[in-house]
Amino acid sequence: MKHKVIVTGGCGYIGSHTVVELIENNYEVVILDDLSNSSIETIGRIEKITGVKPIFINIDLKEEAKVNAVFKEHKDALAVINFAAYKAVGESVNKPIMYYKNNLYALLNTLSAQLENGINGFIFSSSATVYGTPNKLPITEKNETQRPFSPYGNTKKIAEEILDDFTKATENFTAISLRYFNPIGAHESGLIGELPSGIPNNLMPYITQTAVGIREKLMVYGNDYPTKDGTPIRDYIHVVDLAKAHVLAVERILNKKQEENFEIFNLGTGKGFSVLDVINSFEEVTNSKLNYEITERRPGDVPELYAATDLAKEKLGWSANKTLNEMISSSWEWEQKLRAKLQ
């Protein structure tokens, strides 16, 4: 019999890639999504890639009674992976209440519905943003967390604190938080990828949209940081590598391999690349010139972030194996297919 996993936000960027990996590893998947920042078309695309159509339920996780009813119907699920959240850093600064409500009500309603229905495993989509400005590199899971710059980031930090309390108070309930560094790239099929609504905040979609002609030029936010070329350094990670880590986290929970009821793992490659490194690699991979200009620093940007990856390797048996060039070429492929389809 297939193990059932509920995936909230399963139509989104990282969610959809994880659903594909789960199906390919023989899990039955139930997607809960309100499509507020994703498209129903993703379901058909997942089916095209895997040959299996996941169960889809359109639901706003802020609606507690509805969440309970759905979890009751799927109480044979063994674990939940929680991707459902708003994630635009800048928007969260302007609309903090909307972010706290959406991201935290969804989490609380999911956890209480799990409790009610005896679904005892939980995987949380967290972020390296909880480390704030790190005082030590590479960042290990033991690095202290700081209040993130944005309300978005703070919802991730608060969510982890809630999970810490909840797993302590709830016997048998186990959770894993996965702290992503900078996810980019797309599935090799070119059928699923990142679909930012409006003007992208993140570097990679901004680059590909500029190259395809939707944006006039990329603004590089500052070249006076204390790094090799003055631009900030990040740990970019292929979304498919990231997705595979979720399957391993589910297995760790189902096989009762956890050493503590609440575990935290960094998901990164351990390698840092500057903004100019990414631009140069993009130009090399696509054999084209990118229109960009150096401008002011963006408030809240940290000079340098990259992960220590040992813990995920040792405990989850996971490490990233896709290169920056593979990340860039798959993002580019996705962008081109997307635009060809929209025209």
Q: Looking only at Cα atoms, what is the longest distance across the chain?
A: 57
In the bound state with ligand WQD, the residue whose beta carbon lies nearer, of 275 and 338, is 275
Q: Which residue in 13, 152, 225, 292 is the catalytic one?
A: 152
Q: Is 152 a catalytic residue?
A: yes
Output the CA torsion sign for 146, 252, 17, 19: negative
Min dist. Cβ of residue 37 to ligand WQD (A) = 11
Q: Interface residues with ligand WQD (CB under 6 A)?
A: 87, 89, 127, 129, 153, 182, 201-203, 206, 218-221, 232, 234, 275, 298, 301
Determine the 3-state secondary structure of 181 from DSSP. Answer: coil
Min dist. Cβ of residue 221 to ligand WQD (A) = 4
Q: Which residues of 286-313 are buried (b: 16+ CB within 10 A; e: fewer)?
A: beeebebeeeeeeeebbbbbbbbbebbe
Min dist. Cβ of residue 183 to ligand WQD (A) = 7
134, 31, 27, 142: which is closest to 84 by C-alpha?
A: 31
Beta strands in 230-299 (DSSP E): 233-234, 236-238, 262-267, 273-274, 292-295
Tokens 């680059």 -> residue: 207
In the bound state with ligand WQD, the residue whose beta carbon lies nearer, of 121 and 132, is 132
In the bound state with ligand WQD, the residue whose beta carbon lies nearer, of 61 and 253, is 61
Min dist. Cβ of residue 119 to ligand WQD (A) = 26
Beta bridge partners, 265, equal 178
In the bound state with ligand WQD, the residue whose beta carbon lies nearer, of 112 and 223, is 223
Annotated catalytic sites, by residue?
Answer: 152
